[in-house]
Chains A and B, each alone.
Chain A
Amino acid sequence: MAVTVRVDIVSADQSVMGGEATFVVAPTTMGELGITPRHTQLLATLRAGEVRVTDANGVVSHFFVSGGVIEVQPHAITILADSALREEDARALALIEEEARLKALESRTEIGMRETDYFRLRGAVEAEARLKWIEGIQGGVSHTSQ
């Protein structure tokens, strides 16, 4: 059994994670910080970035934090994030956002298409009219020149 340390990730709105880990990587303002169990006491500020937690089975879970404070005790690590997201949740959120973006884009292109079609059509009509007009002049000119 590997030596583990208790890890809690809490955000202002909810508790995001609580469990044992063998290795934790956190993005502090001074740079990325890797922490193993029995680390000395440490208090650091976090910047926005990714927290990686490796559990006893070697499975790595990813979290996103937007900043906050990390407290390290030899047997406990507490990440007090301003807001935090599990990877799955972040993915789901990204998916929703992407969908919304696509939908917005789609509707915009739809309008755009209609608009360009209209302009193209109008342009075509105008061009045709101009062509006819020119032909008319030329015809007229050619007639008079003869």
Chain B
Amino acid sequence: MAGTKEIRTKIKSIQNTRKITKAMEMVAAAKMRKAQENMQATRPYLDKIRVVISNLSKAHPEYVHPFMVERTVKRVGLILVTTDRGLCGGLNVNLFRRVLRSMQAWSESNIEIDVCVIGSKGAAFVKRGAFNPVAEITGLGDRPRFVKVQGAVKTLLDSFEAGKIDEVWVARNEFVNSMSQKPDLVCVLPIAPETITTQQHHWDYIYEPESKDVLDLLLKRFVAASVHQATVENVACEMSARRIAMKNATDNAGDLIGALKLKYNKARQAAITQEIAEIVSGAAAVG
């Protein structure tokens, strides 16, 4: 019975692991639902602000905000949205791979990169590589607050206004559905005005107090809202990725337990057979 004991302890330990992964799967599933609701709740703001901005590009404002002017790109700002915790499959790794590809393209055309990281996984990634981190926020939790995101975005907005950087990109996971997430990079600054269709009549808004102030506030809110939406969406991605990863882990643990049980029973039977053989041969020797 030498091998059976070890196998039994192994089975026990895997059973415990399975319990944990099962629990984590259920927690992730519950959080995923909440995160998805949250994502739906924050979406109207971004949609509406986008409508206002597209209206704005149809109007003929006398003042053009610097956020809407495209410049030749010498330096870009990158907002990297990642999770705070691991155990969510290849979610962050896929995003990093996607980001590295873009970074390579940028450095080939001699464009420098400033990175603003959201999430501790991204912070660790940036520390490993030779990047230029300008801001870092971690611990946003399962419901990222708008105000916290605003703070991080501000550094990049300020350097964009000062002309230090010429483009701002957001790297985040796009929530396709609960089974798949797509790493993606989107340009948030400059805000590309839609192709201006020739309007029949010229019109412009009445601005109160001044067009500059109103546009400034509106566009800053738009960028912050885009980033906020990205963080909220990333939480939903994280939870669904974790749920799937944990489900796979639970299934694998089940398979492993099955295989070990088979091995255990074989060892047990072999031991019994051996014992009988010994008894029989002993009896034969006596008889």
Contacts and interface: CB of A to CB of B under 8 A. Distances in A.
A73 B59 CA distance: 12
Interface of A is mostly: strand
Interface stretch (A37-45, A50-58, A94-102, A105-113): A37-45
Instruction: Give the interface size bracket for A toward B.
Output: 20 to 34
Interface string A43-84: 111000000000000000000000011010100001010100
B208 A12 contact: no
A12 B206 contact: no
A44 B214 contact: yes
A30 B45 contact: no
B277 interface: no
A40 B44 contact: no
Contact of B42 (A12, A40, A69): A12
Contact of A45 (B41, B59, B205, B217): B217
A14 interface: yes
B221 interface: yes
B226 to A, nearest CB: 12
Interface string B222-263: 000100100000000000000000000000000000000000
Contacts of B218: 43, 69, 80
A127 B125 CA distance: 72
Interface stretch (B47-55, B71-79, B152-160, B182-190): B47-55
A42 B209 CA distance: 11
B221 A68 contact: yes
A54 B207 CA distance: 24
B48 A80 contact: yes
Nearest to A18: B44
A12 B59 contact: no
Nearest to A78: B48
A10 interface: yes
B213 interface: yes
Contact of B204 (A29, A41, A44): A41
Interface in B37-88: 41-42, 44-45, 48-49, 51-52, 55-56, 59
Contacts of B48: 8, 10, 78, 80
Interface of B: 41-42, 44-45, 48-49, 51-52, 55-56, 59, 146, 203-209, 211, 213-215, 217-218, 221, 225, 228
Interface of A: 8, 10-15, 28-30, 33, 40-45, 68-69, 71, 73, 78, 80, 82
28 contacts: A10-B44, A10-B45, A12-B45, A13-B42, A14-B41, A28-B208, A29-B209, A41-B59, A41-B203, A41-B206, A42-B205, A42-B206, A42-B208, A43-B56, A43-B205, A43-B206, A43-B207, A43-B215, A43-B218, A45-B209, A45-B213, A45-B214, A69-B214, A69-B221, A71-B52, A71-B55, A78-B48, A78-B52
